[in-house]
A and B are shown apart, each in its own frame.
Chain A
């Protein structure tokens, strides 16, 4: 299964993103970010299924919520995505 990891700048922003996406019917998983994802230590990510990623990004963008970074993860590994 492939996922995108949307890195939020804070727990509050991550929660705001989660609520917004859930309202849109996009199920996400809010989790503490692995150190390699934030680059600054201590952060939060939203795990979004690959097929909902585009809608998720559009939804966040419409509300002015900009992710810090975005990563793609599948069976081959984890890599950063420029959005």
Chain B
């Protein structure tokens, strides 16, 4: 199988991740729940994971790194810590439902989309500036669009948010592991990321980096302050009720170490080169429209395309039947599709990981050519 759906989940994981998960299942219980060997081993692993994440992504320290189930969970925590009834929230035009649905679910919250054209960084900054100047309480911006691979100018948007004193939540779902995520430099209130995409950890893992006061989503045991009936007022315990997903955390630590050893710069350059090869090939096919940035730095290892006469889901299915896994449709991001004008048709998305090869891109283009040719002939 050729797997080009890493924007959803990276399927191929480093061997070290598999080994770490298995080891955790064998020797770890839960951190902070005793001082026996199994709990100590879990605590040591969790702490190493927090410390490395803090170092890689510019969080203040290990206490500011909270384990979550995924990026959606992390975003819900961040949004519900900052947004209140009556809040005005500005979001980019490329947000995922993980951002828009929590906002929509909250009573009396006004969400303003800072719309800007695809791959136009200056316009994105201007759009945020316009809304910020009107007065908002919170800003949310995705770092990289999960549909188009568009790298938004988060650093510049963060600077504008700081100037207006507006707390910023960054959705780093597609950027963690490939683009520089730097909480300290951005001065962001929160950054949310999954463990199972570019960090090569297992599903069921995510991180929330915190630089702002938080509100728990759930309450329960934390292994600390047990006599109190309120959740602790300090991180990470405040947001981590219940037993930890230690196999996941151990796998995530191995994934972080893998990314650190390969370096994000190298991974990005590699994925970008493959994506450019995809785009180049798509451009040569009749009836194909690929959404590609003119400026290299504005697109990560994700590309969307449409083919005249084909429904996106149908085309993804035809490719799937030929052993090529891509994702068709709206990618849980109708806001992004609305902004790009593809909400009615959807797109087919190809997304890379460091385990993909140039030969897989060639095979994909060859199969796509055959599918298009068949339809034109029959």
| A residues lining the B interface (CB < 8 Å) | 9-13, 15-16, 19, 30-32, 38-44
Contacts and interface: CB of A to CB of B under 8 A. Distances in A.
Contacts of A42: 32, 223-227
Interface of B: 31-32, 34-35, 43-44, 46-47, 50-51, 61-63, 222-228, 232, 234, 236-237
B225 A40 contact: yes
Contacts of A19: 47, 51
A13 B31 CA distance: 12
B234 A40 contact: no
Contacts of B31: 11
**In this complex, which of A11, A12, A15, A38 has the most chain B Cβ atoms within 10 angstroms of its Cβ?**
A12
A20 to B, nearest CB: 10
Contacts of A11: 31-32, 43, 47, 223-224
A16 B50 CA distance: 10
B225 A12 contact: no
A10 B367 CA distance: 55
**In this complex, which of A11, A15, A16 has the most chain B Cβ atoms within 10 angstroms of its Cβ?**
A11
Contacts of B236: 10, 12
A75 B31 CA distance: 32
A15 B61 CA distance: 12
A34 to B, nearest CB: 12
A12 to B, nearest CB: 5
B47 A15 contact: yes
A32 B43 contact: no
A71 B228 CA distance: 22
A3 B141 CA distance: 50
A40 B228 contact: yes
**In this complex, which of B43, B44, B232 has the most chain A Cβ atoms within 10 angstroms of its Cβ?**
B43
**In this complex, which of B225, B234, B236 has the most chain A Cβ atoms within 10 angstroms of its Cβ?**
B225
B211 to A, nearest CB: 14
B226 A40 contact: yes
Contacts of A39: 227
B69 to A, nearest CB: 19
Contacts of A15: 43-44, 47, 62
B75 to A, nearest CB: 22
Contact of A9 (B35, B43, B51, B234): B234
Given A10-B232, A11-B31, A41 B63 contact: no
B237 A10 contact: yes
Given A10-B232, A41-B227, A42-B226, 8 more contacts: A9-B232, A10-B63, A11-B43, A12-B32, A12-B50, A38-B225, A42-B224, A44-B32
Given A15-B43, A32-B34, A32-B35, A10 B62 contact: no
A12 B223 contact: no
Nearest to A31: B35
Nearest to A16: B62
Given A16-B61, A16-B63, A9 B47 contact: no
A18 B236 CA distance: 17
Contacts of A44: 32
Given A31-B35, A32-B34, A12 B47 contact: yes
Contacts of A30: 35
Nearest to B236: A12
